[in-house]
Structure 1
Amino acid sequence: MPRCSRRSLLRATGLAAAGAVAGCTNDDTDGPTGTPNSGDIVAGPDGAYVFEPESYTASVGETVTWYFDSPTHNVGCRPGDSPQVALPDGAEPFASYEDGNVGGTVPQGETYEHTFETAGEYTYVCIPHAGQGMVGTVVVEE
């Protein structure tokens, strides 16, 4: 068995550790905050009561993804659930919670998706924080 000096062992360990750390970087950042796979819109970035960006432009047929960066948030675009909600004529309402459970929130780190089939402007809210101004808009273009 070949003999290994302490210096050789430390050098080899250091190189292995550097290689492991280099492999830990993730360049798959497609969201507005740079969070890996964060989605198109971030709900509650850094615990704030906002959607980032506040206004998002999509195309008809596009699926938009909300990423929940902090807990106790949801996405609601059902006119009966909040007076701030508005959607184009003929558009389907949507929400990240079950019908009738307006207080239902999405766990931190999870996502919610909705595919927009009708052009126009959609105003949605986080139901628990709509009173604090947590309102966003998706503008869907042809």
Structure 2
Amino acid sequence: MTHVSRRSLLRTTGLAAAGVVAGCTGDDSGDAGSPTDTPGDIVAGPGGAYAFEPESYTASVGETVTWYFASPTHNVGCRPGDAPQIALPDGAEPFASYEDSAGQTVPQGETYEHTFETAGEYTYVCIPHSRQGMVGTVVVEE
């Protein structure tokens, strides 16, 4: 049940942050099921901070985790060699929200998803802000 309440908290805080950034007045006449209704499991750059919220997230093998980009100039990188903080379990596939350039960021309001197939601890970063401590962890359990 902790997973559900965490999602609810992120959904609520993500929507509130999106409303503030967009200048919304609380009118909820938007389309049901739009991406802002379910911003994701992890928020990148909440309130413009160089942080992931939550900093540590627990998932199950086979689960798809979604990052929601609440502010601009962020990405998700878990490819060894892109930053010294990055670590993944033996046999795990590296992942990143960018294809060619580690400096490529995800536009504000968009999401990135990754499905975890290998149990273990994944340490990922926002490449542009890894030196400022924008580091997160996903712990994948069997």
- Tell me whether the two structures share a fold, i.e. TM-score over 0.5: yes
Which TM-score band applies after superposition, normalised by the shorter structure? 0.7 to 0.9
- Give how far 1:117 is off: 0.1
Q: Which runs of 5+ in 2 are unaligned?
A: 1-6, 16-36
**Bigger Cα Rg:** 1
CA drift at 1:111: 0.1
Q: TM-score, normalised by structure 2?
A: 0.77
Equivalent position of 1:23 in the other structure:
none
Aligned to 2:10: 32
Shift of 1:31: 5.5
- 1:16-38 CA distance string (max 9 Å, x none): xxxxxxxxxxxxx8461512311
Tell me if the contact between 2:11 and 2:38 (Cα under 8 Å) persists in the aligned partners. Answer: no
2:81 aligns to what SS in structure 1? helix
Cα displacement (A) at 1:80: 1.1
Q: Which amino acid aligns with 1:127?
A: I
Q: Could you tell me how far apart the structure 2 residues matched to 1:51 and 1:32 are? A: 11
- What does residue 50 of structure 2 align with? 49
Say which SS state the counterpart of residue 81 (structure 1) adopts. Answer: coil
Task: Give structure 1 regions of 4+ aligned residues with deviation exceeding 4 angstroms.
Answer: none
CA RMSD between the two structures: 1.2
Structure 2 equivalent of residue 120 of structure 1: 120
Amino acid aligned to 2:68:
Y
**How many Å separate the matches in 2 of 1:30 and 1:111?**
17
Report sequence identity in percent: 82
In the TM superposition, residue 83 of structure 1 has moved relative to its aligned partner by 0.7
Gaps of 5+ in 1: 1-28
Using the alignment, how far apart are the partners of 1:83 and 1:133 within structure 2? 12
In the aligned structure 2, how far is the partner of 1:110 from the partner of 1:136?
A: 18
Asked whether the 8 Å contact 2:59–2:139 carries over to 1, the reply is yes
**Aligned pairs, how many?**
113
